[in-house]
Copies of this chain bind each other. A is one copy, B any other.
Amino acid sequence: MKAKNLSITIDGIDKKILRKLMEDARTPILEIARLVGISGAAIHQRLKKLEKSGLISGSQCIIDHKVLGYNTLAFVGVYLDKTMSHLDAVKLLKRIPEVLECHFTSGQWSLFVKVVSKNNAHLMHILNEDILTISGVLRTETFVSLDQQIDRQIQI
């Protein structure tokens, strides 16, 4: 079977570079070079290629919510009135800082939202005061994540 002809071809060395940077984005290029066994300059140009291809879309440092006192993670299914445009609802959801993800989904809900909060009372406040007050939001269904056991990116 022929490989799909995307704009990038990734070999074993690229994979090693990616795996290392997915684990720690601040790993020095020279350290990767030593790990992989080729020169720093080579790693450098491979990295540029990977960035240019869009495979690496950026990097970020990860903030631990819990250290900030955000101990609750929840998913919220949102039912929208058919007169409410999804995009307008999303625009208003964006203004709620605790909303981290918002998906337009197939199935029973119009929108599906991931929310963090400090505790259950805070979550209730976000639901009642912030989300349900958006005009066009009919009702919501909430699922609290009691424990997150897997959290990762796709494996390379």
Binding site for B on A (CB under 8 A): 4, 6-8, 18, 21-26, 53-65, 67-70, 73, 75, 87, 90, 93-94, 97-107, 109, 112-113, 116, 141-156
The answer on a CB contact under 8 Å between B60 and A94 is no
Q: Are A150 and B58 in contact (CB under 8 A)?
A: no
A149–B94 Cα distance when bound, in Å, is: 9
- What residues on B are CB-neighbors of A57 within 8 Å? 62-64
- Known contacts A67-B8, A153-B60, A102 near B148 by CB under 8 Å: yes
Are A103 and B145 in contact, with the CB atoms below 8 A? yes
A61 touches B21 (CB 8 A): yes
Determine the residue in chain B with the shortest Cβ distance to A63: B153
- Bound-state CA distance A105–B103 (Å) is 19
The residue of chain B having its C-beta at the shortest distance from the C-beta of A73 within the complex is B103
Complex: how many Å from CA A98 to CA B143?
A: 22
Task: Report which of B104, B150, B153 forms a contact with A146, defined as CB distance below 8 A.
Answer: B104
